[in-house]
């Protein structure tokens, strides 16, 4: 069988990582379970504070004191007492003996609290048992467990002295729990049974590492695919004992008339966990290599099947085997029903995917010198992964720090301007040219987005030849200083792009800028470099200038205008939408329901957008394999990237890619049914009805149902052969 482009991408990345770590089994270097270790509370221990009477000296709205002891650990269910200082008191009515308190303050990955906890038998004489008056650790869903010598008390008083977000918000307790723990007691295992067990899971679920999943007793997986499509399954194994050298083996899929889909197209991954917002998040797709698994734990397995474009239609069968060094094993049966329809290769998809790349982050996270051969080799893997999802835009920074230093690794400038002693300018395009040529070779060759002519803070940089200094100036759009800097650069840049044959592919890209700044910038571009295209991601209503914007991206919160989107598409322009640190849902965070990523492609199809933008493909924090939190900013955990170092793909990225595939299938079906004329009208009506079901609804359920309906329509509709 011919190997498809997307198969080569996944297989080559998996092979590189396997060779890098060797073939011997080892435990994955993952974070520990929240609350595990010496501070763990044994399973089944009695919470003495549960449903106790409570009072507080301050209460906000309906955030009453009893919410802190109702057994609900969700962040939104909490007592709130603004402003600080504020106190919350638990009254057990009858004194009880305890030696452990778990405190869960409000958690969102951004704030910390300082407080102390005191106990009393009479409400007059108080003894401090917890001192968090200097705490700076961010609050998490797991909370903090405090152990102390046993005390007997009726009252438990918590006094808040600081909220890192602001003291006006007050103190917040999601749950305060009290226990009497036997020092010799050990946590009871949550996963029991034979050494190795397993069941077929769902790609729409995330599974906990320390709990046995509630799944039907089935080890069979069935799916339907177009030729050229990548489809996914998820399987779950759990262990009753420590296992060594656990390996995954996917067989060749055997189909009708002796046809096959070779095993190299059937690619399994272990799902790897990282930490985020106080919880373990199973999101990383770890390439298939032998690993050791601890006893009484759960491990999801992700399977990607890349159906070749030339595969014969029909049902293909195979197996996915899991086996350890002692021969303990689980086997899953695989069934893939391949339809006659053909999906083009990602490079030929129409979907305008714009995931911003950050080469400086790749350099730092992998320890390679900027633009060294090793750095370029790693960048090739990263860009190839993006191109395999249909990425169309290459992210180029033409000023130093276009977004300041908001990410862990600030973007440098790919153009080096020098102001000569006589006042003239020269520009070094070496890095820019190397980056563009490299990106094109990796398959990202549709559009070059150059950020930004309105950088954060309006700060601009250049090398001053006379003084030898690197100079920073502040120049607001419309000012003389702004024109003096940009006019010669734009003129020279346009000339350079034309000499390279890149002018028509290049845009001056802007991100969430104000209208007046946009107008002043556009006026200068039109004067100095007429014909230069402009890209804009807009979080404000800037439709008054939309006719000048080649690639206009709406924040998802704006009401879609399908007629406008279709009109612009007919003009050869792009109209897309984006999510970023907001909204909470739908989004592509590592804690997001996986189907939300797929829903984004369906939303684009339903509202006639031409694509989707996400601001960060690989702007890593310090160590994403350990935690996805980024304490320097108040963004939701994992907001800065869709893939992980290695590079490793992720569940959310693969589900996003799946939604883009669905968008392409919808486009192909629309075209085929339209071409059929009157005979295709019923099918078109059915297709539009399917799309209306996904608009503003529960994302997981509607995606599942819409995909089933799309499958049924695909079976009835003849489409072009690739």
Structure tokens given for 365: 């996270």
Q: Read off the pLDDT of residues 532-575 as tens digits, 9 standing for 90 and up.
A: 999 999 999 999 999 999 999 999 999 999 999 999 999 999 99
Q: Would the pLDDT of 17 be above 60?
A: no
Structure tokens given for 446: 């549709």
Q: In the prediction, which pLDDT does 189 show? A: 54
Q: What is the mean pLDDT of residues 140-169?
A: 93
Q: Read off the pLDDT of residues 256-275 as tens digits, 9 standing for 90 and up.
A: 999 999 999 999 999 999 98
Contacts for 302 with CB less than 8 Å, ≥ 6 apart: 232, 233, 234, 268, 269, 270, 271, 285, 651, 654
Please, what is the end-to-end C-alpha distance for the chain in angstroms?
16
Q: In the prediction, which pLDDT does 635 show? A: 87
Report the distance separating Cα 384 and Cα 366, nearest Å.
17
Q: What is the mean pLDDT of residues 226-234?
A: 98
Report the distance separating Cα 321 and Cα 476, nearest Å.
62
Q: Write the burial class of residue 335 (CB in 10 Å: 0-12 exposed, 13-18 middle, 19+ buried).
A: middle
Q: What residue spans define the domains of the chain?
A: 5-35+189-342, 37-179
Q: What is the mean pLDDT of residues 435-460?
A: 98
Q: Would the pLDDT of 322 be above 70?
A: yes
Q: Which one is the CATH code of 37-179: 2.30.30.100, 3.30.70.20, 2.60.40.10, 2.60.120.260?
A: 2.60.120.260
Among 438, 433, 402, which residue's Cα sits nearest to residue 496? Answer: 433
Q: Read off the pLDDT of residues 89-136 as tens digits, 9 standing for 90 and up.
A: 999 999 999 999 999 999 876 789 999 999 999 999 999 999 999 999
Band (pLDDT 50/70/90 cuts) for residue 150 is very high
Output 76 or 520, whichever has higher pLDDT.
520
Q: How does the average pLDDT of the chain come out, rounded?
A: 93
Report the distance separating Cα 602 and Cα 187, nearest Å.
44
Give me the architecture of the 5-35+189-342 domain, per CATH: Sandwich (2.60)
Which runs of E-coded beta strand occur in 62-205?
A: 79-81, 86-105, 113-120, 127-132, 144-163, 171-179, 196-200
Question: Are 5-35+189-342 and 37-179 in the same CATH fold?
Answer: no
Report the distance separating Cα 633 and Cα 643, nearest Å.
19
Report the distance separating Cα 414 and Cα 429, nearest Å.
7
Report the distance separating Cα 610 and Cα 353, nearest Å.
9
Report the distance separating Cα 357 and Cα 336, nearest Å.
34
Q: Would the pLDDT of 276 be above 90?
A: no
Lowest mean pLDDT across 93-107, 138-152, 307-321, 366-380? 138-152
271, 275, 277, 283 alpha-carbon torsion, rounded to 10°? -20
Q: Read off the pLDDT of residues 180-222 as tens digits, 9 standing for 90 and up.
A: 998 776 555 556 679 999 999 999 999 999 889 999 999 999 9
Report the distance separating Cα 284 and Cα 69, nearest Å.
35
């Amino acid at each position: 069988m011919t190997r498809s482009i997307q198969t080569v991408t996944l297989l080559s990345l998996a092979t590189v990582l396997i060779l890098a770590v060797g073939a011997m089994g080892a435990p994955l270097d993952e974070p520990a379970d929240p609350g595990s270790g010496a501070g763990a509370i044994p399973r089944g221990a009695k919470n003495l504070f549960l449903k106790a009477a409570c009072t507080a000296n301050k209460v906000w709205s309906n955030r009453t004191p009893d919410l802190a002891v109702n057994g609900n650990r969700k962040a939104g269910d909490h007592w709130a007492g603004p402003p600080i200082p504020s106190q919350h008191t638990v009254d057990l009515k009858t004194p009880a003996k305890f030696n452990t308190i778990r405190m869960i303050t409000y958690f969102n990955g951004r704030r910390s609290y300082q407080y102390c906890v005191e106990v009393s038998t009479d409400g007059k004489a108080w003894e401090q048992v917890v001192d968090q008056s200097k705490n700076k650790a961010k609050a998490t869903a797991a909370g903090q467990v405090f152990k102390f010598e046993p005390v007997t008390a009726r009252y438990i008083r918590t006094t808040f002295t600081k909220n890192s977000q602001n003291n006006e918000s007050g103190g917040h307790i999601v749950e305060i729990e009290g226990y009497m723990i036997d020092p010799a007691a050990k946590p009871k295992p949550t996963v029991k049974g034979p050494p190795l067990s397993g069941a077929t899971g769902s790609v729409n679920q995330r599974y906990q590492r320390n709990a046995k999943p509630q799944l039907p007793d089935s080890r069979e997986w069935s799916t339907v695919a177009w030729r050229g499509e990548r489809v996914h399954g998820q399987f779950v194994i759990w262990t009753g004992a420590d296992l060594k050298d656990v390996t995954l083996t996917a067989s060749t899929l055997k189909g009708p008339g002796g046809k096959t889909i070779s095993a190299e197209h059937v690619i399994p991954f272990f799902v790897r966990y990282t930490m985020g917002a106080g919880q373990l998040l199973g999101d990383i797709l770890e390439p298939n290599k032998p690993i050791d698994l601890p006893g009484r734990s759960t491990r999801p397995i992700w399977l990607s099947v890349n159906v070749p474009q030339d595969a014969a239609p029909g049902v293909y069968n195979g197996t996915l085997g899991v086996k350890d060094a002692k021969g303990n094993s689980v086997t899953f049966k695989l069934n893939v029903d391949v339809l006659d329809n053909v999906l083009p290769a990602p490079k030929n998809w129409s979907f305008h995917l714009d995931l911003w790349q950050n080469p400086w982050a790749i350099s730092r996270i992998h320890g390679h010198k900027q633009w060294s051969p090793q750095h370029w080799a790693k960048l090739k893997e990263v860009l190839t992964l993006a191109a395999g999802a249909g990425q169309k835009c290459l992210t180029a920074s033409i000023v130093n720090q276009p977004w300041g230093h908001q990410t862990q690794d600030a973007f440098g400038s790919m153009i080096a301007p020098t102001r000569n002693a006589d006042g003239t300018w020269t520009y070094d395009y070496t890095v820019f040219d190397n980056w563009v040529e490299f990106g094109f070779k990796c398959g990202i060759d549709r559009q070059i987005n150059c950020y930004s002519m309105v950088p954060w803070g309006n700060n601009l940089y250049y090398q001053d030849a006379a003084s030898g200094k690197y100079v920073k100036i502040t120049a607001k759009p419309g000012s003389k200083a702004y024109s003096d800097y940009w006019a010669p650069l734009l003129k020279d840049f346009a000339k350079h792009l034309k000499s390279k044959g890149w002018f028509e592919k290049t845009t001056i890209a802007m991100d969430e800028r104000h209208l007046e700044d946009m107008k002043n910038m556009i006026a200068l571009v039109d004067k100095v470099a007429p014909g230069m295209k402009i890209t804009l991601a807009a979080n404000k209503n800037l439709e008054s200038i939309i006719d000048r914007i080649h690639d206009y991206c709406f924040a998802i919160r704006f009401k879609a205008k399908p007629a406008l989107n279709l009109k612009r598409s007919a003009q050869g322009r792009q109209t897309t939408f984006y999510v970023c640190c907001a909204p909470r849902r739908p989004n592509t965070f590592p804690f997001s329901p996986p189907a939300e990523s797929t829903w984004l492609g369906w939303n684009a199809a339903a509202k006639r957008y031409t694509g989707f933008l996400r601001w960060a493909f690989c702007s890593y924090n310090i160590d994403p394999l350990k935690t996805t939190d980024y304490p320097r900013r108040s963004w939701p955990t994992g907001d800065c990237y869709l893939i992980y170092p290695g590079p490793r793909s992720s569940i959310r990225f693969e589900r996003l890619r799946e939604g883009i595939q669905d968008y392409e299938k919808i486009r192909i079906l629309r075209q085929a049914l339209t071409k059929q004329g009157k005979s295709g009208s019923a099918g078109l009506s059915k297709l539009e009805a399917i799309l209306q079901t996904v608009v503003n609804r529960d994302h997981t359920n509607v995606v599942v149902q819409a995909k089933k309906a799309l499958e049924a329509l695909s079976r009835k509709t003849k489409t072009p052969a690739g």
